[in-house]
Amino acid sequence: MVALRLTRKGTKNRPYYKIVAIDHRKRRDGRYIEQIGSYDPLQEGINYKVDLELADKWLEVGAKPSVTVASIIKKARTGEAPPEKKKKPAPAAAEEPKAEAPKAEAPKAEAPKAEEPKAEAPAEEAPAAEEPAKDASPSEE
């Protein structure tokens, strides 16, 4: 049985793949029957090249594509490009003015918070005052 799959080429940490028709019993980088295309995962934009005529020929014969090869062939048929990566430094510069606005509001928010603990503090002190009275009562008896 023939499979359409990727064979790894390139160097360490710099992978590059060939899309090939190969006997499914062969090892990953073994001798292949025919090269159908290539795939470079590190390249931005369209990072694959596929000869769709060869791919169709092998699919008609009964070759089974791997999941990755099937998705690459599907993208090649539609002409779909991978989504572009957005740069993060630009939004960070836009966030700086926003950060200043909450700082101005922060003192206003802190003032009511400061009042609430003051109201709770006397309530906590009252039960503490009762406890020594309870301790004093049994010792006096």
DSSP track, the chain:
-EEEEEEEEEETTEEEEEEEEEETTS-TTS--SEEEEEE-TTSSS--EEE-HHHHHHHHHHT-EE-HHHHHHHHHHHHTPPPPPPPPSHHHHHHHHHHHHHHHHHHHHHHHHHHHHHHHHHHHHHHHHHHHHHHHHHHHH-
Residue span of the structural domain in which 39 resides = 2-78
Whether pLDDT at 101 is above 90: no
Q: State residue 114's pLDDT score.
A: 52
Q: Report the CATH number that the domain containing residue 63 is assigned in CATH.
A: 3.30.1320.10
Domain count, the chain: 2
Among residues 78, 94, 122, the one where a domain terminates is: 78
Q: What are phi and psi of 27, to 5 degrees?
A: -70, 170
Q: From CA 38, how far away is CA 40, in angstroms rounded?
A: 7
Q: Are residues 114 and 134 in the same domain?
A: yes
**What's residue 12's pLDDT?**
92
Same domain? 122 vs 65: no
Mean of the per-residue pLDDT values for the chain?
A: 75
Whether residues 65 and 129 share a domain: the answer is no
- The pLDDT of residue 136 is above 80: no
